[in-house]
Amino acid sequence: MSSYIIGTAGHIDHGKSALVKALTNIETDRFQEEKDRGITIDLGFAYLTLENGEKVGIIDVPGHEKFIKNMLAGVSGIDLVLLIVAADESVMPQTKEHIDILRFLDIDQGIICITKKDLVEDAFIELVKEEILEYVEGTFLEDAPMIETSSKTLEGIQELKDLITQKYNEKDRSLIASDFRLPIDRAFTLKGLGTVVTGTLVEGKINKGDAIEVFPSHLTSKARTIQVHNEEVESAHAGQRVAINIPNISKEEINRGDVIAPKDTYFVTDLIDVEFTTLKTTKRVIQNNTRLRLYIGTTEVMCRISILNSEMILPGDTVFAQLKLEDPIVCKFNDKFVIRFYSPLETIGGGKVLKSKSTYHKKFDPNIIKKLEIISSGDTKEIVLSYLKNNFFENNNLITIIKYTGLRKSEIIKVLEQLIEENKVIKIKDVYYSLDYYKDLEKQMINFLENYHKNNHLDNGINKEEIRLKIFEGIDKNHFDSLLEESLKSEVIKIQESEIALFDFKVNYSIDEKKVYDKINNYYLDAEFNPLKLSEVMDELNIKNEERVIFNNLIKDNKLVRLSEDITIHRKNLDKAKAEIVEYLIKNNEITLGEFRDLIDSSRKIVIPILDYFDSINLTVRENDIRKLKGE
């Protein structure tokens, strides 16, 4: 089954539908009004069977100025355009506007078809050719083949088929490697099936039974059946016109412009960063906050423009801008779009999406402009690296990177591998980080710790959470711990329990401070199993409040063990109690609280926290009022 879509373009009544019928013998005007008025109002669909048996889809678009939005919905996924120019009228206003639209949508393959040849003399056709060549100069159609046709006599039709076959054989089908994406251009109900949606599959491959999500509504369903050119198939590929039956969703819940894709593939957005170019021929000067019409995929949405690197947009200008959308959409990096003026309706320019889910930017911010320049360059490696730097605190796993950048999975994986080899990116678990950005944050952390140690020389370190909030604000706690592991490996820092210090930092006590340290240490050592409360110890030893940090250091140094808010015991004494209870339980199997109290010659208020401590380290287990060795 083919993966190729042809679209028509051209002025009203220049013979687009007639030419399609001559090629395919299929009538594309679906509505009675279209047949009565003799014009195409909405999209029409047909298929052409090539001599090799392949079928290519054809989208017949309306030529009337009033139906440009329908025309735009049809050309968003085409591979080849047939520019239709009637021999008896030559280039007309909608011919010009359609060419401008096709240029902005980055369509680069075309055939110029002069229709209605039977109505004029050969000499007049030569004049028409000259006018066409003059107008397409500098566009993708400049070197396009030009063919004279008549839908009435069928002159040139076979030659046109041959040219289409040639273009088909040159098609690049690389987009099949992406996740599937179907911008919807039509939705209807079929008896016995339910809702059916149609569109051009612009990326990827969709299989019968695949789970799907409708964006931006987030409705979920599955592809129950798939048709291509009225034939049911097991799968469809990028570049094919498809009809998909999606159960459990009503036609009324679907809008032209919605997108079908795998679940959780896209961010829904109402603010996008773009590169926008205006037509040289437009007479409009675009001011900041001008209301405009955006056409992207099969979507039409009103928006306001915020110009980032200019005061206004003159004809022929290219600028960076933000589009503030009045309704949410989904799109991705490098999606092409067309902009028309709000009223009166006229095409004024187009461009490409740089960031599909943005935040508000200040005008003339050099950092923002630099970031957008990198993205606009199209250098995949720089785009990914810039993204990881600018979104460092996000959960940047592979799926997130794909959603934000809009690049293909295979392309992203390859680039990430290269960046890791070049020591520009690190991967921790399933998350990717810019190594340069992390090193900058690490330097900030080192400077912070240096100042902290200088001003708090008795502290062994600072709480991790304080570092996270001051230096790594916004990062998930688990990701923060993972990043700290990198600094631990390189011996930049050390972590003791929940406190961070520089790797080579040691508390340097003055002579007087060392005396206080020894005084507290010796007190608890001598107190054995009958120490006083901390406040009483401080009073008895005449220790100042600012020196209390030394008591905490003794705990961090594992000299003392704090068993409860009031009870602290020396580590050596605790180890002694541990040895005694183990020896006792080996001989007696079990011990009561009173027996343990007598064993270490202590009081109930001390014994209870000691026994609870032994339970907590899985030395003992409590059964009612007795303790046994764990595992006994």
pLDDT digits (tens, 9 = 90+) for 315-358: 999 999 999 999 999 998 888 898 989 888 888 999 999 999 89
pLDDT at 565: 84
Question: Looking at the domain assignment, is residue 155 inside a domain?
Answer: yes
Q: Which residue range is the domain that position 553 belongs to?
A: 510-632
112 and 240 within one domain: no
276 and 234 within one domain: no
Domain count, the chain: 5
14 and 144 within one domain: yes
Alpha-carbon distance of 393 to 596, in angstroms, equals: 52
Question: Looking at the domain assignment, is residue 373 inside a domain?
Answer: no
Residue type, 176: I
Among the candidates 261, 288, 319, a domain finishes at: 261
pLDDT at 76: 61
516 and 491 within one domain: no
Q: Is 441 helix (H, G, I), strand (E, B) or coil?
A: helix
pLDDT at 379: 87
156 and 187 within one domain: no
pLDDT at 579: 93
504 and 386 within one domain: yes
Task: Give, in order, the Cα–Cα distances in Å from 279 to each of 67, 92, 97, 199.
Answer: 20, 17, 10, 29
Alpha-carbon distance of 203 to 200, in angstroms, equals: 9
What CATH number corresponds to the domain at position 406? Answer: 1.10.10.10
95: its two tokens:
């011919």
What CATH number corresponds to the domain at position 222? Answer: 2.40.30.10
pLDDT at 28: 64
243 and 197 within one domain: yes
193 and 125 within one domain: no
156 and 96 within one domain: yes
What CATH number corresponds to the domain at position 17? Answer: 3.40.50.300
All residue ranges of the chain with pLDDT < 70 are 1-3, 28-43, 61-77, 172-177, 631-632
616 strand-pairing partners: none
pLDDT at 12: 76
Q: Is 625 helix (H, G, I), strand (E, B) or coil?
A: coil
Question: Looking at the domain assignment, is residue 129 inside a domain?
Answer: yes
| Of 182, 270, 268, 183, residue with least CA distance to 218 | 268
Question: Looking at the domain assignment, is residue 374 inside a domain?
Answer: no
159 and 13 within one domain: yes
Question: Looking at the domain assignment, is residue 292 inside a domain?
Answer: yes
625 and 514 within one domain: yes
Among the candidates 232, 261, 290, a domain finishes at: 261
Question: Looking at the domain assignment, is residue 540 inside a domain?
Answer: yes
pLDDT at 310: 94
- Residues 6 or more apart whose CB falls under 8 angstroms from that of 491 comprise 503
Question: Looking at the domain assignment, is residue 66 inside a domain?
Answer: yes
pTM of whole model > 0.75? no
302 and 200 within one domain: no
Among the candidates 456, 484, 508, a domain finishes at: 508
Burial of 574 (0-12, 13-18, 19+ CB in 10 A): middle
Alpha-carbon distance of 478 to 461, in angstroms, equals: 20
Question: Looking at the domain assignment, is residue 190 inside a domain?
Answer: yes
The string of pLDDT tens digits covering residues 573-613 is: 999 999 999 999 999 999 999 999 999 999 999 999 999 99
